[in-house]
Structure 1
Amino acid sequence: MTALTDETSARPESARKGGRWIDHWDPEDEEFWNRTGRRVANRNLIFSIFTEHLGFCVWLLWSIAVLHLADNGTALSVGQTLWLTTLPNLVGALLRIPYTFGPAKFGGRNWTVISGLLLLIPCGLFVFAIANPGLPFWALLLIAATTGLGGGNFASSMSNIAHFYPTAKQGLPLGLNAAGGNVGVSVTQLTMPPLIVGFGLIAVGWVWMPLILVAALCAHLFMNNLSKASQSYTLAEMGRIAARPHTITMSVLYIATFGSFIGYSFSFGVLIGNQFPDITASHYIWLGALVGSAARPVGGWMADKLGGTVVTFWNFLAMGLGIVAVWAGVSTGSWGLFLGAFLWVFATTGIGNGSTYKMIPSIFRARAEASTATAEQGVRERAFELARREAAAAIGLISAVGALGGALIQQTFRISVERSGGIGPALIVLAVFYGFCLALTWAVYMRRGRVGPERVSLARAGV
C-alpha cells in the first residue's frame, strides 16, 4: 500500500470534502500504527505545536506590555493595569469551549489554519493601540480581550491531536503539544523586555505576524483532517459530557494543575515584587513558565509508564509540600528558598498537567470497555470511537475550566495581599486545595474498596 493510499484512503467522501482528509484512521490497530499512523500523527503534532506556541505568545502580550505603557504615554491606575492582564485570561478560558467545536466542525487541519490566522487580529490591534496612546481605557480593554484568541487555541489543538494517537500512548504527545504552547508564556516574558528596549513597544505586535503566517501556511501544507473526528458535537451532547462525574472530577484536578500554572505565570512577577522588592522581577519571571512547560511532557511520559492516577496522586503531594516550602521562604525572608520552592511548584504543575491529560482519554475508553464487555466486536468498536470523540470534547471543556481556575488563583493572591499585606493566607488556601485534590484522586480513582467492571477497566487502561 502506498503512502498516498495510506494517508487518504480515497473515497467519494474525500473527493467531496477536498483537501488533506483521511477517511481511514485506526491508531489502536498496531499494524496500521506502525506502518502509517505514527508518521502521520507525529507530523501533525509538530505543526500543531508551532501554532499553539504562537497562540500562547499572543495571549501573554499585555501581561508584559502594561509595564511599559506609561513610557508610551498611557498612564493607568493599578486597578486598570490588573484588568488589562486579567481580561485576556478570562476571555481565553471562555473561548476554549467554542474552540473545542472547531476541529470537529471544520477539520483539525482546517481549523488550525483558521485559528492561526485569527491571531493576526490581536497583533494588529496591539500595534494600533501603541501607535495611538490617547485611546480611551474601554478601547484598550477590548483590544486586550482579543488576545484571548491565543488562549482558545489550546483546546482545539489538544482535542484534535488526541484523535491521532492510541489511547495508551497519548500521554507523551499530548504533553509535548501542551508544553509547546505553555512555553510560549516563558518566551514572551523572556524576549519582550529586550525587544522593547531595542525597537520600542510597538515591535511586540509586529514581531509575531510573519511567524503566524508561516505557521498557518505549514498547517495548510502538512497537516490533515480526520473524517472520523469531523462529526460536530451538538450543545446537548456537550452538556451531557460536561455533566458526567468524571468530567467534573477531572475539571477540578485540572484547575489545580493548569490553573496553577497559568495563575502563577501571570502573578509570579507581582509576587516577587511584593515579597522581595529589592529583586528585579523581570530577571526571573520567565523561569517559572519555562520549568513548568518543560515538565509537562515528562508528566505525560511518566503517566504512560506508571499510570496517570499514580503520577497525579503523588504529584499533588509534591505540590502541597512545595507550597509549604514557598511559605517558609516568605516567612524567613529567604529569596533563595522562595525562588527554588516556587520553581519546584512550577515543575509539579507541569507534571500534573501531563498526567491529568493522560487520564482523560483513558477514562472515557475504560467506561466504553466496561459497558460493552459482552457485546459483539462491531458494537465495541463503535463505542470506542464514540469514547474517543467524547474524550476530545471533554479535553476542551476541562481545559476551559482549568484556565478559569488560573484567574481564581490570581484573585486569591490579590485578596491575600490587599487584606493581609502578604501572600501567606493565599499559600495556606492553596495548600489545603492541593490536599483536597490528593484526597479526591485517591477516592475516585485509587480506592481499593471500589469494585466493578469500570474499576477493572480503569486499571487496565492505565488510569
Structure 2
Amino acid sequence: MTAPTTTTAAREGGRWIEQWDPEDEAFWKETGERVARRNLVFSILSEHIGFSVWTLWSVMVLFMGPEYGIDPAGKFFLIGMATLIGAIARVPYTFAVARFGGRNWTIFSALMLLLPTGAAFAVMEPGTSYTTFMIVSALTGVGGGNFASSMTNINSFFPLRQKGWALGLNAGGGNIGVPLVQLVGLLVIGTAGAAQPRIVLGVYIPLIVVAAVCAALFMDNLAPVKNDTGAAREAVRDRHTWIMSVLYIGTFGSFIGYSFAFGLVLQTQFARTPLQAASMTFIGPLLGSLVRPVGGRLADRYGGARITLWNFAAMAAATAVVVFASLIESLSVFLVGFVALFLLTGLGNGSTYKMIPGIFHAKALDQGMTGEAAAAYGRRLSGASMGLIGAVGALGGLGINLAFRQSFQTAGTGTAAFVTFLLFYAVCAGLTWAVYLRKVPAGPVPATETKPRLGYAEV
C-alpha cells in the first residue's frame, strides 16, 4: 500500500488525500494514524465551537429578566427552536462532507457560525420582539449541523477497531462546548452582571475565526469519500437506522435537551437567581461531555449493545431520583440525580455511536462478505445512516424542551416531564435487549456456511 498523497492540482480547494485505507495495518502505522489524529484534533476544535453556538440560548435566556417580557414557557420554546433547526441541519451537513471535502466543509461551517453569533450580538437587549429572538435562535441551528459533518468525516479516517474511541473523543470534545459557553455565561453574570449578555457573544466571534483558520491550515479532504445515494436509500430502508435513531434520542437527545433546559429548570422550579442557576448549569454537561469517550472505550471492549442496555437501566434509575427530588422539593437530591443523568447520557452517547458501524459490519459478515469488502460495506452504510440517526436523535432535545414547557405550563413543575422520560428510557432498554442482545434459538446451519453467523451483541 502506498502512502496517501496530497494533491492540489486535481481538485479545487487543496489538501486532497487521494488514497486512504485505514484497515490496512501497515499503512495505518506508517502514515494513516498520524494524519487521522491531526484531523481529529482540529475537527474537535471546530465542532466544539459549533456546540457552543448551538447551545448559546441556554445561556442567553439566563440574562433575560422580567424586562424582556418573556415567561418560562416562552423561553423553553425559544431554546426548542434552536434544537429543532440544529437537528434538521444535520441531514444536509452529513452529505456535505463527501460533496465538498471534510476540510473544505469544516472551514465553511465554522465561518457560518459568525451569522447567528453576530445576529444575537445585534438584538440581545430588552424591547426586541419575541419573533426576532425566535429567528436569531433558529440561526444557531447551524452549530448543531457541525456535529453531523464532523462525525461523518472522522468516521472515514479511522479503522473499525478504533471508531468507538475516535468518535467518542470527537463527540465528547465537541460536547464540551456546551458547558464551556455556560461557564463563560457564569463568569459574565458573576463579574459584569446579568445585563451584559453581549460580552459572551464577543468572546466567541474571534474563536470562530480561529477554528476556521486552523481547519484551513491543518485538515485534509479524503477523495475516496463520496456520497452514495444508493447507500442513503438503503440506510433509510434498514430497520437498524431507525432503531438506533430511537436509542440515540434517549442518549444524545437527552444530553442536548437537558443542557438547554437545566438552567431554566433551576430558575423556574427552584427559584434560583441567574447567577445561582449559571453556577450549577455547566456541571452536568461538562461531566457528560468528558465521559463520552469512556462510553466509546467501554463499547470497544465489552460491546456497545451491552453498555447501552445497562446505561439505559441506570438512566431510568437516575430519573427516578430526580422525580423523587421534585416531589419532596429537594434541590440537593435533584442535583445529585440530574448530574448522574448527565453522566449517563455521555456514556450512552459513546456506546450508541460505536454500535452504528459495528451493526453494519456485522450485517456484511452475515451476508458472507469478508475482509475489505465487509469493512467497505460497513463504512458505506454507517456513513449514510449517521446523519439521519444524528438528526432524529437531536430531535429528542426538542421533545425534552417541549415536555418541560408543557409540564411547567400545566403544573408549575417538571415532575410530569421527568416521569415521561423515565418511561422512555425503560422502552429504550427493552428495545436494546430485544434487538441486539436477546438470544435467538439456534436453527440449522446451511452446509455452505463455514462459521456461525455473527450476532449483534459485540457491536
TM-score normalised per structure 2: 0.91
Asked if residue 232 in structure 1 is aligned to residue 223 in structure 2, the reply is: no
Structure 1 match to 2:323: 327
**Distance in structure 1 (CA, Å) of the matches to 2:88 and 2:145:** 8
**Distance in structure 1 (CA, Å) of the matches to 2:358 and 2:316:** 26
Structure 2 match to 1:75: 69
Asked if the contact 1:259–1:406 (Cα under 8 Å) also holds between the matched residues in 2, the reply is: yes
3-state SS of the aligned residue for 2:142?
Answer: helix
3-state SS of the aligned residue for 2:311?
Answer: helix
Pairwise mapping of residues 34-113 of structure 1 onto structure 2 (< 5 A)?
A: 34-70=29-65, 74-113=68-107
Q: 1:125 aligns with which of 119, 126, 132?
A: 119
Structure 2 match to 1:440: 431
3-state SS of the aligned residue for 1:19?
Answer: coil
3-state SS of the aligned residue for 1:415?
Answer: helix
**Which string of whole-angstrom CA distances, capped at 9 and with x for unpartnered residues, describes residues 152-183 of structure 1?**
10000001100111112111111111111111
Asked if residue 277 in structure 1 is aligned to residue 277 in structure 2, the reply is: no
- After superposition, the Cα gap between the structure-2 partners of 1:405 and 1:50, relative to the gap in structure 1 and judged at 3 Å, is same
Q: CA RMSD in A?
A: 2.4
- After superposition, the Cα gap between the structure-2 partners of 1:450 and 1:444, relative to the gap in structure 1 and judged at 3 Å, is farther
Displacement of 1:382 in angstroms is: 4.5
Displacement of 1:74 in angstroms is: 4.1
Q: Which amino acid in structure 2 is aligned with residue 163 of structure 1? A: S
Displacement of 1:218 in angstroms is: 0.9
Q: Which amino acid in structure 2 is aligned with residue 336 of structure 1? A: S
Displacement of 1:286 in angstroms is: 0.8
3-state SS of the aligned residue for 1:284?
Answer: helix
Displacement of 1:122 in angstroms is: 0.9
**Which string of whole-angstrom CA distances, capped at 9 and with x for unpartnered residues, describes residues 170-223 of structure 1?**
111111111111111111111123225438322222221211111111111111
3-state SS of the aligned residue for 1:207?
Answer: helix
**Which string of whole-angstrom CA distances, capped at 9 and with x for unpartnered residues, describes residues 231-264 of structure 1?**
1243x64343123100010000000000111111
Q: Which amino acid in structure 2 is aligned with residue 410 of structure 1? A: N
Pairwise mapping of residues 365-404 of structure 1 onto structure 2 (< 5 A)?
A: 365-373=361-369, 381-382=372-373, 384-404=375-395
Asked if the contact 2:185–2:278 (Cα under 8 Å) also holds between the matched residues in 1, the reply is: no
Q: 2:413 aligns with which of 419, 422, 425?
A: 422
Moved more, 16-25 or 393-402: 16-25
Displacement of 1:293 in angstroms is: 0.6
**Which string of whole-angstrom CA distances, capped at 9 and with x for unpartnered residues, describes residues 276-335 of structure 1?**
336732221111111111111110011111111111111111111111122222233333
Structure 2 match to 1:405: 396
Q: Which amino acid in structure 1 is aligned with residue 240 of structure 2? A: H
**Which string of whole-angstrom CA distances, capped at 9 and with x for unpartnered residues, describes residues 135-165 of structure 1?**
4332332222111111110000001100111
Asked if the contact 2:358–2:378 (Cα under 8 Å) also holds between the matched residues in 1, the reply is: no
- After superposition, the Cα gap between the structure-2 partners of 1:344 and 1:136, relative to the gap in structure 1 and judged at 3 Å, is closer
**Which string of whole-angstrom CA distances, capped at 9 and with x for unpartnered residues, describes residues 319-378 of structure 1?**
1111112222223333322211111111110000000000001111111222234xxx7x
**Distance in structure 1 (CA, Å) of the matches to 2:133 and 2:281:** 24
**Distance in structure 2 (CA, Å) of the matches to 1:14 and 1:386:** 30
Pairwise mapping of residues 308-387 of structure 1 onto structure 2 (< 5 A)?
A: 308-373=304-369, 381-382=372-373, 384-387=375-378
Structure 2 match to 1:301: 297
- After superposition, the Cα gap between the structure-2 partners of 1:350 and 1:8, relative to the gap in structure 1 and judged at 3 Å, is same
- After superposition, the Cα gap between the structure-2 partners of 1:147 and 1:351, relative to the gap in structure 1 and judged at 3 Å, is same
**Distance in structure 2 (CA, Å) of the matches to 1:443 and 1:420:** 35
Q: Which amino acid in structure 1 is aligned with residue 137 of structure 2? A: A
**Distance in structure 1 (CA, Å) of the matches to 2:120 and 2:13:** 36
**Distance in structure 2 (CA, Å) of the matches to 1:243 and 1:459:** 19
3-state SS of the aligned residue for 2:224?
Answer: helix
Q: Which amino acid in structure 1 is aligned with residue 210 of structure 2? A: V
Q: Which amino acid in structure 2 is aligned with residue 150 of structure 1? A: G
**Distance in structure 1 (CA, Å) of the matches to 2:170 and 2:3:** 24
Q: Which amino acid in structure 2 is aligned with residue 155 of structure 1? A: A
Structure 2 match to 1:190: 183
Q: Whose helix fraction is larger, Structure 1's or Structure 2's?
A: 1
Q: Which amino acid in structure 1 is aligned with residue 56 of structure 2? A: L
Q: How many residues align?
A: 448
